[in-house]
Structure 1
Amino acid sequence: MPASLKFKTVITDYGKQRLVAAMSPGGTKLTLTQMAVGDGGGNPTNPDTTSTALVNEAWRAAVNSVTVDKSHQNTIIVELLIPAEVGGFWVREAGIYDEFNKLVAICSLPASEKPLLEQGSGRAQTVRMTLVISDLSTINITIDSTTIIATNDYVDNSLKEHEKSRNHPDATLTDKGFVQLSSATGSTDETKAATPKAVKAAMDNANKRQPGNENLTALSSLAGQPDKLPYFTNKGAMSLAEFAEFMRTMLSKTDAASVLEYLGLRETINLAAGALQKDQNGADIPDKKQFVRTIGAVTSNTITLGESGWFKIATVVMPQATSTAVIKLYGGAGFNTGSSEQGAISELVLRAGNGSPAGITATLWRRSPAAANEVAWVNTSGDTYDIYIN
């Protein structure tokens, strides 16, 4: 550095080591945290890279701001603001410290008195140090936001930046730009943007409405048709049927019993209540013997008391694939002839399929006297036989 420079800023050897270490892979960034000013012991100072402290420190605080010089992208400006209530010393030197409280850079300054308010004069004073850094990414700038004070320059620059940020044209449907907000919900204006209030009003209105549906659309087209009953013919398609007086009367009924009465189904239901139930398999038949006679499953003949000779008592179908029929005969003398099971009883057993020639055989058991004596049969056709007793 030329010897003719009276005031200068230098990075200390420690500061250089931190910057080199920060540029290495995985290195820790250098963090600038504080600045200090001193009076140089009452004399001008000559900063040196070997310096580790100010000659005579007078006051220290967190940095007020750190900015990048817009004209020189590798230059940072570190600023310290000394408030008006601080003073009672001269400023001839300044230094920047890292997070370990070690001196990173030091500078010499023109002598400037910083008086106390009690001395009859006071002012806020800004001290700035400029550092040229080859790689700004090696520096991690930490600023205590509780101590930042806006300088006049900062305020002026901020106002200029703010003014530039608003110097834009209005937005259109094709170009970006500023847009005015509006809470109107009935406007067709295309130059304003809806506020959350307007969006909420639109959503509240939409939520009260029936969602669009092709079936509802088809139904709405039939609204107002008198004496018509709509019905769907396909998805999204409907037609109308005549709403006759018969249907109108039925729909006016207030309970199921009234509807059944109107339709004339009461007697049908009553008859169904006394019908045989399929799942009972005949268990609910009151007189099962009479039932089988009624349907022809069992036949019976009556022979008058005192008659004799051959009498036809039954006609049977006896397939030759081994079939059997049993005929019971009641009557004649007995303990109590008024009760059939106590009268004279004979059992006639018929069997088919016993070989050749085809036909049937019959066996007569007399369980009590004075009943049938003989049995005979006549083949009338195929497997059908008339049965006779003597």
Structure 2
Amino acid sequence: MSAKFYTLLTEIGAAKLASAAALGIPLKITQMAVGDGGGVLPTPSAQQTALVAEKHRAALNMLYIDPQNSSQIIAEQVIPETEGGWWIREVGLFDETGALIAVGNCPESYKPQLAEGSGRTQTVRMVLITSSTDNITLKIDPAVVLATRKYVDDKVLELKVYVDDLMARHLAAADPHTQYAPKASPTFTGTPKAPTAAAGNNSTQLANTAFVQAAIAALVASSPAALDTLNELAAALGNDPNFAATMTNALAGKMDKAANGTDIADVSEFLKNLGLGDIAKAGVGKGVASDNGFFTVPVLIAGVKTEFYVQWGNATVRNSTGVITLPVAFPNKRLLVLANDITEAATSVVTFGINTDASKSSFTFFSAIGSSESNAGQFAWLAIGY
């Protein structure tokens, strides 16, 4: 009994498939169309370039090699419930240029519309037998095609199996995150490597064995002949196993240069050891060098620091009384005032007296000029106090 329902390549389809095989360029089947055959079951013909009465055309959902028969290609299209109102008696496959590649008939099936009171999503499957499936590919726009439930279920299951396997291998791995270094106290195995720091580097950069070896070699090479081995170096350092801690503790007792000596516990003993005695605590004098000036002399009297002031100046006088203001006031007491005639004229004689008031910032004088001198006279004075 001859087959009633079958599918065949059109002449155009056969030519395109042969060309694809010869040139190695895949034939891209993109669409499927269904029709009602003009009201009767049609007989497929290789000369056809279109369906007898096409009713619906849309992109393919799937095109794949039959897993049970490698010479069969299965094409599928899902017709949504919104399409219908006609019979399905013929099926055709079209390439990306719109050429009819394969045509076939099928058992009659009515595709209702929702408006008719019944609706369904219908999957149309077309099987094409060919000698070679290598040069046939599916080209679809996933945004406009529908997927069958089986297709979705299969893909979900496939993805789940893949993810489960990936997670299982991830959890079983000793170090699944190899791109990250452990943060706290890592234990290295094998032969870990690190960049070699520049000679003399004293930062927190990791020091590898090459850096340490270079530092030791430099130390040994620059040592005197008596310290040219590590054993001799260790002996010179007292064979102290805690040398670093010993040095740290020793340095902790050093003086702070920023304190300028204020951290010396016994200043007197310190000065004695320097051979300076208490005079070193007297300090440095000050003064002004001018015609009317002063200077100070710091001294220690009975261990007490004292500053003596020596002040001087000169004045021009006649028979009168006057007041001399000292360059600086004595902080505590005026001890002594001396005066001397410095008039240049040979006949001038200035006599004067100094009162004994207790002023620390001035003194009063009484002067008289010899009878033979008509001009004013001059005298110099010297005052001492502390």
TM-score under structure 1 normalisation?
Answer: 0.48
Q: Which has the higher contact order (CA 8 A, sep 6+)?
A: 2
After TM superposition, the score normalised by the length of structure 2 is 0.49
